[in-house]
Every structure is written in structure tokens, then in C-alpha cells.
């Protein structure tokens, strides 16, 4: 019925605090159960153990219950909290098209778990999870990637995607140094130092930031694929569910088809999406998950003709229409759209977004033309969510949406998609013969994605780009 992000209501990016008083959609209903995505006492113990300060008022189950109960008028007095990695797993499995799958969860740290492999299946309609293997703090692929993000001067736990973008520009000259300095056992995923507080600022000191990024990405991919090999070796299923913050690495995701026949990553694989996983665990059954347009609704028809006109005349336009996307990507309902052809578009959109010039934008394309324009990755039956890169066959024609390594983070749109972006692409294709647009999220710099019409109005004022509703 609804899934949303606290940050889109408080307007504080990555806001860790729940705002039930702001998420009015949630307060409109009565509940029989409230589900939380980690064990409060275990999380608190982890924070104490790792020397962090607790950030929430839910340090114990009782406190969580009191905190939630202050806002939610759930009637049956049922509240549940679930293990963090299990919440990730359920968010993936119970939204997936599979009845049986291997679930891999990789994140920085959740309670004490860092990597988990589960066997998941339905028995009498109820989802069952059996843990097959796991790795625990401080051995963590996510913490390694975050430490390297900080090493090049970016914000850890936030700007990992920028490090990934930089990886296209450097050379992989640091792999053996990383291996000897940090890794204890590559197959068992054990590290010989705790990277939670970062890594020595002198580490790889003679290398450029771009080379560090390339080496980090390549090394991380090796570690991820080791986990995938191990998961595959259990022989439980050729279906893969992959969740956790590391599953946002769309570059590493391109090779998952080498290990599994079918891949599903829920469009919100990070911690925010685990809210859905906790709810799924409380529900127990398969969820009828059709799309990610589950958030705040801006009413009215999708402004197809206005957008088409703007694109033809100005080449860049904004849209805030229908329900907001659940997950980190704008998929056409809160998007800045542009003509992907021509050499000046990337600079023009970058100027609006005020971000690093080296970073590319993503294409959104009519699904039936995807193979014609891109070398699509194997194993992905659903590429609707900008989760994986594909090599563009005509990089010279579309410089704005192709990265320096020749890949694009693709979003395909099938017929029947629950967003007007499909109709817009169809009409755009009829007029221009081009089946794709550039699509980037609509957000004011430093703020979360535009949520309501008031946000869209502020965007228009700030950047002088019309946002149609």
C-alpha cells in the first residue's frame, strides 16, 4: 500500500530518525503489528562494543515500543523486531518472483553480521530462511569500501557511489598491496585489521585517487564474487537474491549472471528497504510486489505532452508526478529528464546538479530497444531499477549517458509500467526516433529527492528548470 523514506519528509539526507509525525500516510491507518528492522538491544550492544554513540531512542525493545507507540495507534499492541540481516533477506526474497532462492546479504555492519548466505523457500505459503554461512564484524566488505571512500577524501557511508564512478578512470595497480596489507583470507573473507574507524591515511600513499578507486573497486569485486561462488556451491538454487548496501554497487552487479541463472535485487536493497523486510517477516507470506512507486502521491495525470514539448525545445525538463519511488533511484516520477544525444547535455545537467564533471548520467529506455543499444548483462530478467551497468553499443552518439569505461547504469521500461514515463518514452521515440532519455534524480543539492509539490516548487526557483506535475 505504501513505502516511504523518513528523509523525504524531514528533508534531512540519510536521516536515521523515524518521523511518524511527518509520515502522515502511515498515521492514517490502524495496525495490527509494527515491525522494526533490527534487534534494538543487539544494535545497542554493537554500538557500545564498537565505541559509537547510540543515535536512536530505541536502545531496548521496551524503549522502541514506547517510541513507536507514541505515534502509532496500532490496536493489538503487537510490535516485533527482527535481526538486521534477516530483514534484508526478507525484503529481497518475499518481493522476488522466486519461490526458492539463495539469499546473499552484504553490507557494512548490521548488528554484528557483515555477510550472510541463506537458503529461502516457502513452506505452506510461509517464507522460511535457513542460514548457511555468515561472516561477522570486523570482517566486512562494506567497511573496507567505506574506509577507502574516506581514504580519497569522500564521506564514508554516503559517497561510496562517487568512488565507484572514479573507478573508470584509474589503473588497478594496488591489488597486491591491498591484499598483503588488509586481507587475512580472501576465501573466508577475513581481514587482518578493523577498518571501522577508517584506514591509515598514508595507505597507498604513492597512488592517485583514481588509481585507488580502480584498485578498490576491482578488489571489492573479487571479494563479492568469492561470496557468490560460495553461495552457488551450496547448490540450493540457481536463483539469487542479493541485498544489503553493497548490492547498490551496480558495476559489480554486472557479473552476477556468471554465478546464478536469475538475479533479483529489491529496488531498495540498503537499510531503508529493510523496513519492508521487517514487515514482510511479520506478514510471513509472499508480497505482491509489482513496482517501486510506493511513496507520497502527487495527483493528476502524468504530464506527457508538457514534458515532450519541453524536451523538444529546451532539451532538459523536470517531472514530479504520481507516487514517489521507494529506493535511492528516481525512476521517472521524481526525475530530471534530458535528451541524451549531443555533446553539451552532460555539462548542462551537471551544472544544474552541481556535481563532479566526471560523473555520468543514466539512461531510461523502452525495454524492447535495450538490446539494440546496450550489451545487456546475463541473469537479469528485470532491469527496471538502475541496478546494473550495461555496455552501450553507440557511446559516441550518447556521450551524456555513457561512463568513461563505456558502460551505462540502465533503466528499462516495459509496457504496463506503473509510471507515465513509459508513455513519454513512446511519444519521444515517435517524434525523434530515439528510444531513450537521460534520467537523473530531482533533488536540490544536499537534500533528499523531491517528495511533494512544495519541494518541486523550491527546485524550480533554485535552478530555473520547470518541474511538471
Interacting residues with Fe ion (CB under 5 A): 107, 110, 271
Least separation in angstroms between residue 278's CB and Fe ion is 12
Cβ nearer to Fe ion, comparing 15 with 452? 15
Least separation in angstroms between residue 41's CB and Fe ion is 17
Least separation in angstroms between residue 88's CB and Fe ion is 6
Cβ nearer to Fe ion, comparing 110 with 420? 110
Least separation in angstroms between residue 250's CB and Fe ion is 18
Least separation in angstroms between residue 104's CB and Fe ion is 13
**What are the angstrom distances between the C-alpha of 273 and each of 91, 109, 182, 416?**
7, 15, 30, 24
All cell numbers assigned to 418 = 506503473
Cβ nearer to Fe ion, comparing 40 with 110? 110
Cβ nearer to Fe ion, comparing 42 with 465? 42
Cβ nearer to Fe ion, comparing 160 with 271? 271
Cβ nearer to Fe ion, comparing 326 with 373? 326
Cβ neighbours of 341 (radius 10 Å):
16
Least separation in angstroms between residue 268's CB and Fe ion is 11
Least separation in angstroms between residue 172's CB and Fe ion is 28
Cβ nearer to Fe ion, comparing 7 with 107? 107
Q: Which residue is nearest to Fe ion (CB)?
A: 107
Least separation in angstroms between residue 269's CB and Fe ion is 9
Least separation in angstroms between residue 85's CB and Fe ion is 7
Cβ nearer to Fe ion, comparing 170 with 245? 245
Cβ nearer to Fe ion, comparing 95 with 383? 95
Amino acid at each position: 500500500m505504501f513505502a516511504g523514506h523518513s528523509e523525504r519528509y524531514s528533508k534531512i539526507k540519510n536521516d536515521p530518525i523515524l518521523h511518524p509525525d511527518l509520515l502522515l500516510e502511515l498515521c492514517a491507518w490502524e495496525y495490527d503489528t509494527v515491525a522494526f528492522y533490527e534487534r534494538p538491544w543487539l544494535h545497542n550492544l554493537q554500538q557500545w562494543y564498537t565505541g559509537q554513540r547510540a543515535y536512536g531512542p530505541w536502545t531496548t525493545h521496551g524503549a522502541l515500543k514506547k517510541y513507536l507507540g507514541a505515534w502509532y495507534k496500532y490496536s493489538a499492541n503487537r510490535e516485533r523486531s527482527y535481526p538486521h540481516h534477516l530483514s534484508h533477506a526478507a525484503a529481497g526474497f518475499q518481493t522476488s518472483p522466486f519461490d526458492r532462492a539463495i539469499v546473499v546479504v552484504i553490507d557494512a555492519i548490521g548488528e554484528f553480521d557483515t555477510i550472510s548466505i541463506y537458503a529461502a523457500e516457502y513452506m505452506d505459503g510461509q517464507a522460511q530462511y535457513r542460514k548457511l554461512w555468515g561472516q561477522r564484524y570486523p570482517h566486512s566488505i562494506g567497511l573496507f569500501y567505506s574506509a577507502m571512500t574516506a581514504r580519497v577524501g569522500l564521506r564514508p557511508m554516503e559517497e561510496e557511489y562517487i568512488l565507484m564512478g572514479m573507478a573508470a578512470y584509474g589503473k588497478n595497480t594496488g591489488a597486491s598491496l591491498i591484499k598483503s596489507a588488509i586481507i587475512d583470507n580472501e576465501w573466508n573473507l577475513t581481514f587482518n585489521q578493523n577498518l571501522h574507524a577508517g584506514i591509515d591515511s598514508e595507505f597507498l600513499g604513492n597512488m592517485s585517487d583514481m588509481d585507488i578507486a580502480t584498485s578498490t573497486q576491482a578488489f571489492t569485486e573479487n571479494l563479492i564474487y568469492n561470496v557468490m561462488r560460495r553461495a552457488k556451491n551450496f547448490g540450493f538454487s540457481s536463483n539469487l537474491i542479493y541485498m544489503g548496501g553493497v548490492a547498490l554497487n551496480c558495476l559489480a552487479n554486472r557479473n552476477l549472471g556468471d554465478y546464478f541463472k536469475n538475479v533479483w535485487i529489491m529496488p531498495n536493497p540498503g537499510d531503508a528497504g529493510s523496513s519492508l523486510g521487517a514487515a514482510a517477516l511479520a506478514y510471513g507470506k509472499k508480497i505482491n510486489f509489482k513496482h517501486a512507486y510506493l511513496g507520497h502521491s502527487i495527483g493528476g495525470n502524468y504530464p506527457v505532452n508538457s514534458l515532450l514539448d519541453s524536451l523538444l525545445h529546451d532539451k532538459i525538463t523536470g517531472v514530479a508526478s504520481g507516487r514517489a519511488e521507494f529506493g535511492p533511484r528516481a525512476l521517472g516520477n521524481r526525475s530530471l529528464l534530458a535528451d541524451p544525444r549531443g555533446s553539451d547535455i552532460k555539462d548542462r545537467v551537471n551544472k544544474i546538479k552541481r556535481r563532479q564533471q566526471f560523473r555520468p548520467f543514466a539512461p531510461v529506455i523502452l525495454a524492447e530497444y535495450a538490446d539494440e543499444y546496450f550489451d545487456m548483462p546475463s541473469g537479469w530478467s528485470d532491469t527496471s531499477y538502475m541496478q546494473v551497468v550495461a555496455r552501450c553499443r553507440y557511446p559516441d552518439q550518447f556521450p551524456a549517458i555513457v561512463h568513461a569505461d563505456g558502460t551505462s547504469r540502465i533503466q528499462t521500461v516495459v509496457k504496463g509500467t506503473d509510471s507515465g514515463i513509459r508513455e513519454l518514452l513512446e511519444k519521444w521515440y515517435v517524434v525523434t526516433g530515439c528510444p531513450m532519455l537521460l534520467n537523473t534524480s530531482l533533488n536540490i543539492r544536499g537534500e533528499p529527492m523531491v517528495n511533494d509539490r512544495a519541494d518541486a516548487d523550491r527546485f524550480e526557483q533554485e535552478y530555473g528548470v520547470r518541474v511538471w506535475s
